[in-house]
Structure 1
Amino acid sequence: MTAPAFRIVADGLGFPEGPTHLGDGAVAVVEMQGQRLARVDEDGTTTVLGKLGGGPNGSALGRDGALYVANNGGLSATRSGGYWHAPEPFDGCVQRVAGGQVSVVAAGLPGPPPHRPNDLCFGPDGRLYVTDSHNWEDLRNLRPGRIAAVAADGAVTQVAEVPAMPNGIAFGPDGRLYVAQSLTRSILVFDWTPGASLGDPKVFAKLPSGSPDGMCFDSGGDLYVCASVGHCVHVYDAGGTLKQTIDVPAGAQPTNCCIGDGRLYVTFSMTGRLAAYELAIAPLPLYQGAIDGGNS
C-alpha cells in the first residue's frame, strides 16, 4: 500500500508532543525541551501560548477554552539515546493555560514520587484522566504507573495502577478507556463506570512494531496509535484488528497525534516537526470539562 502523502506544517520545535486540534487549521503542541505550549497555524506560524517549565508531555482542550497540560516535571528522550533534564525540574503536575496565564490545577498526584504525568483526556463525567508513567527514566527499577482522575474542583483520585509505563490515553466510541502500555507494546482497554475505579484491563491490541505512545480515534471508530520507536502509525478497527500501517520518516519518532480539518496531525518529536497527513477523516468528538482554581 502506498504511504499517504504528508506535509510539514512546522519545523524547529523543541521535541513537540501532545497535539490538540483547535479548529481552522490550528493545532496546539507542547514542546518538552522548549518547555512551552505553542499554537501552530495552518501556514506554519507558531505562537507561544504559555511558558510551562518542566517537561510538558500532553495537552487537552477544556470546555472553558483553556488547554490542560500533563507536565512530567522536566524529562525527555534525546537523539543520542540519553535523557534531557530541565534546568529547574519539579515533581510532575497538571497545568492550565488560558489567556497567556499558566496555573497548576493538580499537584501532589497519587502514589510515591516521582510523578511524571504523560498524557491526558477528559472523560464522560467531565473529569480529566491522566496517565502517570512514574519513574520511566529508570527502566531497571521501573515501578508501576498510575491513572489519576482530576475533578472540576481539583480533587485528584487514583483510579488504576498500570505497570510497564502507561502512556497515551483516550476514550473510545464505546465509552471505554484506552491506554497505551509502552513496554509491552499493548493497547489496554478498561471498562468505565462513573465514580468507580477502572478495575482490570483487557488487551485490545498488541503492536507488531514500535512502542505505543499517543493515540486518537476517528469518527468511524478507528484508533490511530503512534509507534514512537517503530517510526510508524498503526491504525486499528473497533475490534482491535490492524487495518493499516502508516510509515513516517526514519528517525522522526512519532509520539502523538490528533485529527482535524480532514487531517491526521502527528508530532515528529526527534526532528522537531509537526506533520499533517491528508486522510479525509473526521475526529471522534472529544469529551470536555473544566477544572477550577489553581496557582499561577
Structure 2
Amino acid sequence: MTSPIRELAAGLRFPEGPIAMPDGSVLLVEIEGKTFTRVGADGRVERIAKLAGGPNGAAIGPDGKVYICNNGGFKWHDSAEHGIRPIGQAEDYAGGWIETVDLRNGRVERLYERSDAAPLHGPNDLVFDRHGGFWFTDHGKTRPRDVDRGSVCYARADGSQIRELIFPLWSPNGIGLSADERTLYVAETFTGRVWAFDLSAPGEIAKEPWPQSPNGGRLVVGLPGYQNLDSLAIDSEGNVCVATLANGGITVIAPDGSKVSHVPTPDAMTTNICFGGAALRTAYITLSSTGKLVAMDWPRPGLPLNYLNT
C-alpha cells in the first residue's frame, strides 16, 4: 500500500536537486527561479543564493559545500492547466557548468565549464564517491531541429581534473552509485532506459564490448510506452528509484532489472527523489510543474550518501 503524500512546500519555481539535511531541512534548486533554496523543517522557504543559467542536480561535497550541475538555462512554458515546464534551450544560453555554493555565506563559484573532451552543454545530476570525486551527467540541450549527444564525466571536487568517461548517451539524466561503489547507474530521459556501468577503480569504467554495448554499459531496463526518466536515488536494497515524467511518479527498478514497480504522484513532471529523516525512511520528492516539495514514508531505507548521511 502506498503511503500518503505530505506537502512540505509550495510556490517553488520548478524545484529539483533535493538534499535532505540532518536538521530536517531540505536544500534544493529552483531551475526556473534560478535560486538555491532551503525548505525548513517547519516549511519555511528561504532563498540562499541567486544563480545564473539553470541550476539542476545538487549534492554535498567533501568540503561541506553544495555542488550544483548547471544546465545553462531553459525556455519555459507556464499554463494554468499544466504548470511550468521546460521547452528547450534558453535564448541567452552560453553553455553549462559545475558550480559550488558555500552554505556558510552563500558564495557561488564556478568549478568547471568543460571536460577534457568538450565544453559542458547541459550538466544535469551528480553523485559523490567515497574518494571525494563525483560522477555527473551532461544531458546536453534540445533545440527546435537538433539535440546534443550526452555524456558522463568524472571530476575532482577541488577543480583539478575532469574527464569524459562515457560517450555517447541519449539524454543522460539521473545518476547513482551502488553501495559497494562498483556499479554506476545512469537513466536516459527520452529512451526510458537505465544503464549500469561496472567500475574498475575510482573514476574508471570497465566497459562492455561493442557492438553488444553501444556505450560501454549494460542495459538494466527499458520502460514500455511513453515514460521519460529524470533523476534517481538508490535504496538500501540496491533498487534504482527514478523519477518518471509523463507517467508521473517514482519507478522502482531492481538492480538486475528483474522487477519494476511504480509509485504514482500527482504531477507529470516528477523530477527527483532523495532519502532522509529517521533511518532514511522518508522519500523527499520534487513535483516540479506544480512547484511542490512533498514527502512520503518509504518501504525501505534509502542508501546513505557520502558526506551527508554517513
TM-score (norm 1): 0.88
What displacement does 1:61 show? 0.8
What displacement does 1:284 show? 0.8
What displacement does 1:140 show? 4.6
What displacement does 1:252 show? 4.2
CA offsets, 1:237-267, max 9 Å, x none?
Answer: 2332335311111x44100110111211110
Give the aligned residue type for 2:96: G
What SS does the aligned partner of 2:53 have? coil
What displacement does 1:288 show? 4.2
Summarize the Cα distance change of 1:247–1:77 in structure 2 as closer, same or farther, 3 Å threshold.
farther
Any residues of structure 2 matched to 1:245-284 within 5 Å, and which? 245-249=262-266, 251-261=267-277, 262-279=281-298, 281-284=300-303
What SS does the aligned partner of 1:23 have? coil
Whether 1:168 aligns to 2:174 is yes
Summarize the Cα distance change of 1:122–1:241 in structure 2 as closer, same or farther, 3 Å threshold.
same
Any residues of structure 2 matched to 1:41-190 within 5 Å, and which? 41-75=40-74, 78-79=77-78, 83=87, 89-98=93-102, 99=104, 100-113=106-119, 115-135=121-141, 137-138=142-143, 140-154=145-159, 155-175=161-181, 176-190=183-197
What displacement does 1:142 show? 2.5
Aligned residue in 2 for 1:285: 304
Distance 1:228 1:188 in 2: 18
Aligned residue in 2 for 1:225: 242
Give the aligned residue type for 2:154: A
What displacement does 1:113 show? 4.8
Give the aligned residue type for 2:40: D
What SS does the aligned partner of 2:21 have? strand
What displacement does 1:285 show? 1.7
Summarize the Cα distance change of 1:184–1:174 in structure 2 as closer, same or farther, 3 Å threshold.
farther
Distance 1:191 1:204 in 2: 12
Summarize the Cα distance change of 1:267–1:177 in structure 2 as closer, same or farther, 3 Å threshold.
same
**Contiguous gaps of at least 5 residues in structure 1:** 290-296
What SS does the aligned partner of 2:135 have? strand
CA offsets, 1:79-125, max 9 Å, x none?
Answer: 56662766854321111101210001112235445611011111243
Aligned residue in 1 for 2:22: 23
Distance 1:34 1:193 in 2: 39
Whether 1:204 aligns to 2:209 is no
Give the aligned residue type for 1:145: G
Give the aligned residue type for 1:286: L
Summarize the Cα distance change of 1:193–1:103 in structure 2 as closer, same or farther, 3 Å threshold.
same
Q: Report how many aligned residue pairs link the two structures.
A: 286
Task: Name which of 243, 255, 260 aligns with 1:238.
Answer: 255
Summarize the Cα distance change of 1:152–1:62 in structure 2 as closer, same or farther, 3 Å threshold.
closer
Alpha carbons 1:78, 1:270 under 8 Å: kept: no
TM-score (norm 2): 0.85
Between the aligned residues of both structures, percent identity stands at 33
Aligned residue in 2 for 1:38: 37
Summarize the Cα distance change of 1:181–1:84 in structure 2 as closer, same or farther, 3 Å threshold.
closer
Higher relative contact order (CA 8 A, sep 6+): 1
Distance 1:181 1:78 in 2: 23
What displacement does 1:139 show? 6.9
Alpha carbons 1:53, 1:88 under 8 Å: kept: no
What displacement does 1:281 show? 3.6
Summarize the Cα distance change of 1:54–1:238 in structure 2 as closer, same or farther, 3 Å threshold.
same
Give the aligned residue type for 1:216: A
Distance 1:28 1:134 in 2: 25
Give the aligned residue type for 1:275: V
